């Protein structure tokens, strides 16, 4: 059964709408939907995306999430008009406020996407820019066509990127790639995106849907508790926040699960396992 939701306030019809969530069997798809504005991420999109991720996390029938965009660009990034508004509200005569440890709504959204229990695929239907590069990086897999490109314009805009984004880029792509992307603000193309590990797969033009469908089927067929637990451990290790006791507990729980009984039985019977997530 396929269901579609379009939560939150709607923009004008020509400009598009807030992100659209579609659920088709075990696969959920979130589609950025402002093609006239190159799928820029507006402030109103953030709570909608956060709510959609919560719905996915709470639905045990969902095994995979695909994040994509409408049209020829995945996303042009976070709405710069919001940054300009914030700057205009600053009183230059007042002392700067102390740094806050509270994450911004966008930062919290990125954390929710990175840590959502199901494996995630970013279907890069076109170029990706600015803060949307971090949105895609929060996904477990990023698949793009040979025509794909990206750039991070923070240095060109005079913006020091937020802490969690710099940590994510450096831990996932390495120091050299992070410095090139952040400090030069240069565009890089699909071959280099693959080389530095930003893309996990590059496909010929026209081959995007087939590869995303193939990987979706592979991921949906795995044992969901084991996948969720190992994803958590790998993300913790990447951030330098590894919870060894938690990892050990999940390992022990998996040895007592119905899923491992089904997996071992299916292995011996030479058939595909049917996991229930228990």
The tens-digit pLDDT sequence of the chain (278 residues) is: 455 666 544 444 456 899 999 999 999 999 999 999 999 999 999 999 999 999 999 999 999 999 999 999 999 999 876 554 554 454 455 565 565 567 799 999 999 999 999 999 999 999 999 999 999 999 999 999 999 999 999 999 999 999 999 999 999 999 999 999 999 999 999 999 999 999 999 999 999 999 999 999 999 999 999 999 999 999 999 989 999 999 999 999 999 999 999 999 999 999 999 999 89
* Structural class in CATH, domain 2-87+101-220: alpha beta
Which ranges constitute the DSSP H helices of 100-223?
A: 105-115, 131-137, 154-157, 163-173, 175-184, 190-195, 208-220
Q: In angstroms, rounded to a whole number, what is the distance separating the alpha carbons of residues 151 and 37? A: 17
> Would you kindly state where each structural domain of the chain is located, as residue ranges?
2-87+101-220, 224-269
Q: In angstroms, rounded to a whole number, what is the distance separating the alpha carbons of residues 94 and 114? A: 36
Q: In angstroms, rounded to a whole number, what is the distance separating the alpha carbons of residues 226 and 154? A: 38
Extract the tokens encoding 148. Answer: 């794909």
Q: In angstroms, rounded to a whole number, what is the distance separating the alpha carbons of residues 20 and 30? A: 6
Res 12: pLDDT = 41
């Amino acid at each position: 059964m396929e269901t579609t939701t379009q939560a939150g306030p709607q923009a004008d019809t020509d400009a598009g709408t807030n992100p659209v969530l579609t659920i088709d069997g075990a696969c959920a798809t979130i589609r950025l939907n402002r093609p006239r504005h190159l799928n820029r991420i507006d402030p109103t999109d953030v709570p909608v995306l956060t709510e959609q991720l919560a719905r996915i996390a709470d639905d045990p029938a969902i095994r995979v999430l695909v994040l994509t965009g409408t049209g020829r660009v995945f996303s042009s990034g976070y709405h710069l008009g919001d940054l300009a508004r914030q700057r205009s509200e600053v009183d230059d005569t007042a002392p700067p406020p102390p740094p806050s440890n509270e994450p911004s709504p966008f930062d919290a959204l990125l954390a929710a996407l990175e840590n959502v229990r199901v494996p995630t695929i970013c279907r890069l239907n076109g170029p990706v820019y600015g803060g949307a590069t971090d949105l895609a990086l929060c996904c477990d897999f990023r698949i793009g066509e040979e025509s794909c490109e990206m750039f991070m314009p923070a240095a060109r805009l005079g913006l020091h990127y937020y802490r969690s984004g710099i940590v994510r880029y450096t831990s996932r792509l390495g120091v050299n790639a992070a410095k090139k992307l952040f400090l030069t603000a240069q565009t890089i193309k699909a071959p280099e995106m693959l080389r530095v590990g930003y893309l996990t797969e590059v496909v010929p033009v026209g081959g995007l849907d087939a590869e995303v469908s193939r990987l979706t089927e592979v991921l949906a067929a795995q044992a969901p508790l084991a996948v969720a637990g190992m994803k958590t451990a790998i993300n913790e290790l990447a951030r330098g926040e590894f919870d060894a006791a938690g990892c050990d507990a999940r390992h022990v729980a998996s040895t007592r699960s119905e899923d491992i009984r089904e997996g071992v039985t299916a292995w011996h019977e030479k058939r595909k396992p049917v996991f229930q997530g228990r």
